[in-house]
């Protein structure tokens, strides 16, 4: 399958799935359970609205989602209390699979959700979306319901728009365009068809999630794409245009730390796949600078992209689901 063909056949717009009754019927005919996972850390300002909208539209009005769960990293605000008050199932990541220990990071929450949740399909949605809408869930799950050969559906947003100065290009964020897309272009050119590889919203079949490792930090989305592509090929992917996503922007300094973690994951994957057979031992200290009292002050960040193994390697998981 070439890139142009894939883009024609595996790129969707959420509005194509407007017929909720038909979507629910197709889901029920296949006996599918669908879980929504929202990973959180100090998101009390937005989490309540997300849960209200998903519950009212995709559980009460249409029986599409079978569970809505918050997997929390240890928020110090009222995230867990707010989420529970609006009807979500709330879990503390460190309480899930306590025998394997606890690590801090979004990827850890996503990985532990595979054990905790019941769905045949899990849709992950970030907790900081200000323009939340049911499309952030059904728009990603629908291709999996209608197209059994598709295994992993990514979101993208903000289509090209005409404005007074011309056309605004649409693509990923800053880290995508200056790091991930160039790396994919060099090593995995077909993956450049994924418009926003680092988007935090995606829906995945359980048999895929349980078979791939999970970096606990910044590299989780990048590793997913490489691992799914390596195991199942480009035909396993779909992507859905969700029009627009409004959320807080991160500072450039924070994006640098994110890039450092992603690059570690990427290089480890290329080595494992034999694309770059020999790599030196990677340094895990990233240095940044700030000016304090007229002097440049060095800041060191210790960033190690640890990974959780495929969930199928965990005995407790096999006992629960197999």
pLDDT tens digit sequence for 112-141: 999 999 999 999 999 999 899 999 999 999
For residues 73-80, give the mean pLDDT: 96
- What pLDDT score does 207 carry? 97
CA distances from 147 to 143, 144, 229 (A): 6, 5, 17
d(CA 280, CA 264): 12
Q: Is the pLDDT of residue 164 over 50?
A: no
Query: Is 313 a domain residue?
Result: no
Angle at 305 between CA 299 and CA 311, to 5 degrees: 155
* Residue 305 covered by a domain: no
Mean pLDDT within 299-313:
90
The tokens describing 121, both together, are 């399909």
Q: Does the residue 297 lie in any domain?
A: no
Give the span between the Cα atoms of 58 and 55, in whole angstroms: 6
- What is the rounded distance in angstroms from the CA atom of residue 195 to the CA atom of residue 176? 9
The three-class DSSP label of residue 222 is helix
User: Residue 311 falls within a domain, yes or no?
Assistant: no
**296 falls within a domain:** no
Higher pLDDT, 287 or 205: 205
Q: Which two tokens stand for residue 195?
A: 């418009």
Is 171 a residue whose pLDDT tops 80? no
DSSP code, position 249 = P
Task: Quick: pLDDT tens for 95-105.
Answer: 999 999 999 88
Torsion-angle region of residue 11: left (phi > 0), alpha (psi -120 to 50) or beta? beta
Q: CB neighbours (10 Å) of residue 303? A: 17
Q: Torsions phi, psi of 46, nearest 5?
A: -120, -20
Which CATH number fits the domain that encloses residue 46? Answer: 3.90.550.10
Q: Which residues contact 156 (CB under 8 A, 6 or more apart)?
A: 170, 172, 195, 196, 199, 239, 240, 241, 242
The pLDDT value recorded for residue 305 is 84
CA pair distance 202, 207, nearest whole angstrom = 15
Q: How confident is the model at residue 244 (pLDDT cuts 50, 70, 90)?
A: confident
d(CA 106, CA 125) in angstroms, rounded, equals: 12
> Are the CB atoms for 105 and 40 separated by under 8 Å?
no
Q: How many domains does the chain have?
A: 1
Which three-class secondary structure state does DSSP give residue 107?
helix
Domain presence at residue 321: no
Q: Confidence band (pLDDT; 50, 70, 90) for 83?
A: very high
Confidence of residue 161 (pLDDT cuts 50, 70, 90): very low
- Domain range for 52 is 3-290
Mean pLDDT of the chain: 92
**Three-state SS for 129?**
coil
pLDDT above 70 as % of the chain: 94
168 has a pLDDT exceeding 60: no
Q: Does any domain span residue 266?
A: yes
R_g of the chain computed on alpha carbons: 20
Contact 91, 70 (CB under 8 A): yes
Is 60 exceeded by the pLDDT of residue 159?
no
Averaged pLDDT for residues 226-245: 95
Strand pairing report for 237-241 and 89-92: unpaired
The answer to whether position 310 is within a domain reads no
Poorest-pLDDT segment among 52-66, 127-141, 184-198, 295-309? 295-309
Give the whole-angstrom CA distance, residue 267 versus residue 255.
18
Q: What is the pLDDT of residue 289?
A: 82
170: left (phi over 0), alpha (psi -120 to 50) or beta: beta
């Amino acid at each position: 399958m070439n890139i142009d063909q894939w883009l024609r056949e595996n790129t969707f717009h959420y509005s194509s799935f407007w017929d909720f009754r038909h979507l629910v019927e197709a889901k029920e005919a296949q006996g599918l359970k669908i879980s929504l996972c929202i990973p959180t850390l100090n998101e009390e300002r937005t989490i309540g609205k997300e849960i209200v909208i998903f519950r009212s539209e995709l559980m009460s009005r249409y029986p599409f989602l079978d569970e809505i769960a918050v997997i929390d990293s240890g928020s110090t605000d009222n995230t867990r209390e707010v989420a529970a008050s609006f009807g979500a199932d709330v879990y503390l990541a460190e309480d899930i699979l306590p025998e394997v220990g606890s690590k801090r990071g979004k990827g850890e929450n996503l990985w532990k959700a595979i054990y905790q949740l019941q769905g045949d399909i899990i849709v992950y949605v970030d907790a900081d979306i200000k323009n939340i809408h049911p499309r952030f869930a059904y728009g990603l799950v629908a291709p999996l319901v209608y197209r059994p050969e598709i295994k992993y559906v990514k979101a993208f947003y903000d289509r090209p728009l005409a404005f007074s100065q011309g056309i605004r290009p649409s693509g990923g964020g800053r880290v995508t365009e200056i790091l991930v897309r160039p790396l994919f272009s060099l090593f995995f050119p077909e993956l450049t068809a994924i418009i926003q590889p680092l988007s935090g919203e995606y829906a995945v079949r359980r048999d895929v999630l349980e078979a791939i490792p999970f970096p606990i930090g910044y590299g989780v989305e990048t590793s997913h794409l490489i691992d799914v592509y390596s195991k199942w090929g480009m035909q396993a992917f779909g992507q859905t245009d969700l029009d627009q996503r409004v959320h807080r922007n991160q500072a450039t300094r924070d994006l640098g730390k994110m890039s450092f973690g992603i690059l570690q994951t990427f290089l480890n994957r290329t080595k494992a796949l034999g694309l770059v057979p020999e790599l030196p031992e990677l340094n895990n200290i990233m240095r940044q600078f700030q000016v304090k009292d007229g002097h440049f002050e060095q800041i060191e960040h210790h960033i190690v992209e640890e990974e959780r193994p495929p969930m199928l390697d965990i005995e407790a998981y096999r006992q629960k689901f197999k």
